[in-house]
Structure formats: structure tokens, C-alpha cells
Amino acid sequence: MFRITFLRSILLYSLVIAVFLPLYNALIIYPSYQDILVRETEEDAARHVDALLRMLKLEGQPLTRERLAPELVEEIRRYQNDPRLVKLRIFSPDGEIIYSSDPAEEGQRNAKPYFHEQVARGIIYSKVVESDSRTAEDRPIAVDVVETYVPLMARDLFLGAVETYLDISASHDRLLGLTRQSTLVMLVISAGLLLAILGVMKKAHSSIREREKAEAALQMAMDDLERRVTERTQQLLEANQQLNAEIAERRRAENSLIEAFRISEEAKEKIDGILRSVPDGLLVTDSSDRVLLMNATAERLLGVSLHQALGRGIEEILDDQALLGELQRGAGRQFDFQHQDPRRQILHHYRARTSVLVGRDHLEKGMIVLFQDVSREQEIDRMKNEFLAMTTHELKTPLAGIMGYAELLLDGGLFDPTPNQRREFLGTIYQSAEALARLVDDILDVSRLASGKPLGLEHSPFFMEELLKDALARFRERYPGHRIELRLAETPTRIVADRGRLFQVLNNLVSNAVKFSPRGSLVELAGERCGESYRLSVSDQGVGLTPDQVGRIFDKFYRADTSDTAVRGTGLGLSIVKHILEAHDGGISVDSRPMQGTRVEIQLPLRPREAGETPLLEDWPPLSSSA
């Protein structure tokens, strides 16, 4: 069984997989979970510190010994009842310990470089300290903790810092136990898989032996058939000698040959047409790697015509040594390579498949190579992967806010919020849930469009100015860091459309304007009636877009490269906006320049178009710039 190459290869791959799964769980999954545990513990420490400062009403003030009145110290000590909180220390701006759960440390100063070079600049410093090791200040610790320094800043001014030691021993032990259990399960599954594969291989070995016997019997039958064909050929030769004596029969035979030649020419033309029509590149070589056939696509790819390459070895016509090496490794393979288009200077990704060219005698006569351009597929895969990464981030951020504030509200034993704080926490939870709902709606809309289903619209009459004023109030509450202004005509405009979908359009446009513009800048909404249509624009003073970015801004999953702003997103908003406006027989345009802001303009008919009615867009004023 092991003398058969492909069965031996299957067994080898199975062994590799069986070993890889437990190792992957132990070396990749476990460290990843451990990193997540540390990051969440660090975020938990930051939330504890923020809640403590709010409770003590010390935010925005320098942390000094004079500000820690006895009643505040007593509040801090009650706050330390959290069983996970091993130690709590408060530092003044110059590094002096003004409060510590270990009173003997009060009055000492932290002169470590990380405190003055990192924490004093507003950067959280965190360190994982395992049991029986030493902290950042070279002090022994008996349990696994995450030591975190959280700076208190106000307008780039360092007001002090709070240090916490959060115990992660229980979480670490549970994580280790889970990893060991999953590793054991993977080992059992791998062993079962190997046993199953060995059984299948044994059956395959028997089948291969039976096939070899059948092939031997078939070869004997073919030999017998060839003998009979030879005998029949001899009889035909004798009959042909008789036919040659008759002129009429000779003429009929000549006519038959002419017809056969015509059919052969037609078949050749069909084959040539097929080769010209095949979008993939086709290259055929003989057993000595000499070119026998190429189609036009292969000529463009390899940069040589069939007339120039015919009869020459592939090493003479190929400049790409990597591609040449892959082709010389033989048939029955598949590999990917890249090729630079010399005319358009575009890098293309190709997938090459090689197969054996078999002659009439069933012997290998050469090799057939197909070159398939997979650039578009790879670009789609890249955009989808980015979309999944962005969606994960966009889901995680509001979920963290909801869970964090909900935990503070539920854990009444450690922290009893005031009515104002409770209202603030509930407002934050509601805003995070609203952000999750918007993201889910965007994903559902894209899924509906991808499946070929139209966006459902619920038309109703309303005044556009009322929708804009209602949206303005919500945007000002949601984005207090920006100046959002509304400019409208004096006469109200009545429109028949889907109010909810139009609010979704406004929300996406204003959200983009806020994301890509500096804090405190102006975002302006302007609307007016233009004949039988309504024109609305959203302008910002942000980073702007290049012409290439404007040309792709409505593509699904596309996000403009704005590295100066570090803005993240799913790349779905503007694609959905465009589909909503098209469903209303509307249009959208973008006018933007780098570092000069962006102006997005949309146009809507005042009423839905009746069946067979010409769209009203042809009578609208021209758009400023078509995306």
C-alpha cells in the first residue's frame, strides 16, 4: 500500500494534520485567549479608575495629598472591597504615592522611567506579573495580576495617575484547563481520523489492484482488436484494387475525399474559433517542451506570438524564470503567479493548471497549460476579509460599552451611581445599542441586495424640512464635538418617499462627514426645492478625497485610505445610500479635494414615478461632480 505514491502522500498529509491540530490549539489559540484576557483586564482597570475618580469627583483636578480628605480616603477604602483588586495606589503628578492600600508605601516616589516617560504623557502602562515574580517596581507578588497605571489628563496636562493590581489567577487557571481539555479532544479526533483514513486507504489499495488487473485485460482485448483491424484492412486493400479498375467508383471515391477535406477544414475553423473565444490563456507543448499551440490570450500574457514561438522551447520564449521553473516541473499541477501588464502597468494574478497531453496511443505527448486571470477573485477576497475585520471591530466597540456600563449598574455592591450617573450610563448603553442596530441594518441591506432582492420602500407624504430638523436635533446630540448647521428655504416642501430610508441616508452621510473632519469643525446640511425635485447637500471641512477614491467610494466594502484620521468602518454606508436613492429614482454626486473637505449632494423626485413614466432626473440641474 505504501508503495503507491498518492496513497503515501494522503497518509503523510493526514499525519501532518493530526499533529498540527493539537499544536495549533496549544501554541496559537491558547496565547491568543491569554492576550484577550490581559487586554480585557487592562480595560477593566481603566473603567475601575474612571468610576473611582467620578465617584470621588476628582476628574479634571490634579491629584495631591491635600485633595484626599479623610472622607475621600474612607470612600477609597470601601471601594477596595473588590476581591479581584489586590492593590490600589494613587500618584501625584510628580510620582509621589499619596494613597496606597499598603499605608507603608505612602510618601514614596516612583522614579522609574516608564512612569515619567510613558504614564506622565497620558499613555496607559500595563504589565502582566505572574505569581512569585516581581512587579514593575521590583516588588514580589504572590498571585497572577495585571499591573496597570492609568493616567489622569486634562488638555494634555498630567494630573496624576492611579495604579491597580487586578487578580487574574482564576481566569488564567480556567483558560489553562479549557486549553488542556480542547487539546485532548483534538488528539482523540486526530487519532480517529487517522484510523479512518488508514481503513479507506486499505480499500483504495484493493481497488487499485483490481483496476490494474482490469487494465491488463483491456490491453489484451485491444491487442485482439488491433489484430482484427489489420485483417480487415487487408480485405479492404483487396477490395480497393477491384474498385480502382472502375472509373466511376474512382470518381465517387475522389468526391468523398473532397467532402472529407471540406469537413476537416470546417472542423479546423471551429477549433480555431474556440481557441480565439477562450478567455483563459492556452499553451500546448510537446514532450521536449517545444511550443505546439498558443491562443491570443497566451500570446498577450507571454509577450510573444505563436508565429515566433512555434517549435521553440519554452525556455527560449519566457523571461519570467519563476514561471519557467514551475512549467518545467511537469504536468498535473496547479500554481499561482503574478504578471505585470507592460502596457497598463497593472499587476495581474494568474492561476496556471497543467495537464498531460495524451496521444492516440495513450502515451504522454506533451503538456497543456491553462492560464486563468484570478485578479478579480483575489481582490474580492481581500475586500471581504477587510470587511469581516472591520465588522468585528465595529461590533466589539459598542458591545464593550454596553457590557461595561451594564456591569456598573448591576454591581450595586461596589458602586452605587447617582441618578445623573445612572441616566448617563443608560444613555451610553442606548447609543451603543443604536450603533449596533445601524450596523446590523446595513449588513441586512447589503445581504438583501446581494441576493437580488430590491429594497422595500414604504412611501408616505411628509415635509422634508420636518425630517431635516428632526435629524439635526439627533445629530447634534450624538456628535456634540462638531458644529452641525442646517440651511433651508423659507417655503416648506412636501415630498412622498420612505421617511425611514431617507433618515438612514442622512445618518450615513452626516456620520461620514463627522468621522473624516476634525473635532469642532462645521458640518452643514442644506436643502431646497428644484422644480419637481428636492436637492440636499452635506458639506464638511475634513480631509477630503482623491479623484481615484471618489471613483470607488460607492463600491461595497470600499474604505478610503485616510491614514491621518485613523477612521475605521465597514465600507457599506455609501453603497447602501446609493441603492436607496436609486430605489427612489434619485441620484447622488460627490465633490471633494484632498485637505479641502467634501460635499455630497443628493437629488430626489417629489413623488414616486408611475409605471411607464419617464424619470424626472433628466430635467434636474446638472450635478456638481459624478462619482
pLDDT score for 483: 93
Burial of 58 by CB count in 10 Å (0-12 exposed, 13-18 middle, 19+ buried)?
buried
pLDDT score for 606: 92
Under 8 Å CB-to-CB from 573, ≥6 apart: which residues?
442, 508, 511, 512
Stretch 41-46: mean pLDDT, rounded? 74
pLDDT score for 2: 56
What are the C-alpha distances in Å from 247 to residues 72, 156, 218, 240, 244? 127, 111, 43, 12, 7
Under 8 Å CB-to-CB from 469, ≥6 apart: which residues?
486
pLDDT score for 15: 77
pLDDT score for 393: 66
pLDDT score for 331: 79
Selection from 532, 441, 530 nearest residue 489 by Cα: 530
Say if residues 101 and 89 touch (Cβ distance below 8 Å): yes
d(CA 98, CA 122): 19
d(CA 585, CA 271): 47
- pLDDT band for 450, please (50, 70, 90 cuts): low
Stretch 5-11: mean pLDDT, rounded? 70
Give me the half-sphere count of Cα atoms (radius 13 Å) on the Cβ side of residue 461: 3
User: Residue 540 pLDDT > 60, yes or no?
Assistant: yes
User: Residue 619 pLDDT > 60, yes or no?
Assistant: no
Say if residues 136 and 145 touch (Cβ distance below 8 Å): no
Three-class HEC string of 54-93: HHHCCCCCCCCHHHCCHHHHHHHHHHCCCCCEEEEEEECC
Read off the pLDDT of residues 235-264 as tens digits, 9 standing for 90 and up. Answer: 888 887 887 777 887 788 888 888 877 887
User: Residue 528 pLDDT > 90, yes or no?
Assistant: yes
User: Residue 387 pLDDT > 50, yes or no?
Assistant: yes
DSSP string, 499-519: HHHHHHHHHHHHHHHHHTS-T
- pLDDT band for 621, please (50, 70, 90 cuts): very low
Residue 422 or 511, more confident: 511
pLDDT score for 415: 64
Q: What is the residue-averaged pLDDT of the chain?
A: 79
pLDDT score for 560: 66
Given the C-alpha cell 495617575, which residue does it identify?
Answer: 161
Q: Which of 27-36, 392-401, 449-458, 555-564 is the least confident region? A: 555-564
The length of the chain is 627
Read off the pLDDT of residues 145-155 as tens digits, 9 standing for 90 and up. Answer: 888 888 888 88
Residue 271 or 521, more confident: 521
Q: Which of 103-112, 395-404, 509-518 is the least confident region? A: 395-404
Q: Which of 41-45, 110-114, 225-229, 418-422 is the least confident region? A: 41-45
pLDDT score for 443: 73
d(CA 561, CA 242): 85
Stretch 160-166: mean pLDDT, rounded? 85
The pTM for the full model equals 0.41
- pLDDT band for 485, please (50, 70, 90 cuts): very high
Residue 271 or 503, more confident: 503
d(CA 536, CA 627): 16
d(CA 621, CA 308): 57
| % of the chain at pLDDT higher than 70 | 85
d(CA 301, CA 281): 7
pLDDT score for 345: 63
Residue 522 or 275, more confident: 522
Read off the pLDDT of residues 74-91 as tens digits, 9 standing for 90 and up. Answer: 767 766 677 778 888 888
Structural domains of the chain in order of their starting residue, each with its CATH number:
5-173 (3.30.450.20), 278-373 (3.30.450.20), 379-440 (1.10.287.130), 460-619 (3.30.565.10)
Give the rounded distance of the alpha carbon of 492 from its chain centre: 44
Read off the pLDDT of residues 425-445 as tens digits, 9 standing for 90 and up. Answer: 887 887 778 777 777 776 776
Burial of 56 by CB count in 10 Å (0-12 exposed, 13-18 middle, 19+ buried)?
buried
Residue 382 or 256, more confident: 256
pLDDT score for 463: 94
d(CA 334, CA 347): 20
Say if residues 350 and 301 touch (Cβ distance below 8 Å): yes
pLDDT score for 569: 59
Q: Which of 22-31, 115-124, 545-554 is the least confident region? A: 22-31
Residue 431 or 471, more confident: 471
pLDDT score for 620: 41
Read off the pLDDT of residues 282-308 as tens digits, 9 standing for 90 and up. Answer: 888 888 888 888 888 888 888 888 888
| % of the chain at pLDDT higher than 90 | 12
pLDDT score for 35: 77
pLDDT score for 599: 93
- pLDDT band for 622, please (50, 70, 90 cuts): very low
Q: Which helix (H) or strand (E) holds 314?
A: helix 314-317
Residue 8 or 168, more confident: 168
According to DSSP, residue 109 is labeled: B
d(CA 93, CA 95): 6
Stretch 547-557: mean pLDDT, rounded? 77
pLDDT score for 625: 36
Residue 502 or 212, more confident: 502
d(CA 116, CA 91): 12
pLDDT score for 164: 85
pLDDT score for 80: 67
User: Residue 626 pLDDT > 50, yes or no?
Assistant: no
Stretch 570-578: mean pLDDT, rounded? 76
User: Residue 536 pLDDT > 90, yes or no?
Assistant: yes
pLDDT score for 108: 86
Phi and psi for 357 in degrees, rounded to 5? Answer: -90, 115
Residue 442 or 467, more confident: 467
Give the rounded distance of the alpha carbon of 274 from its chain centre: 38
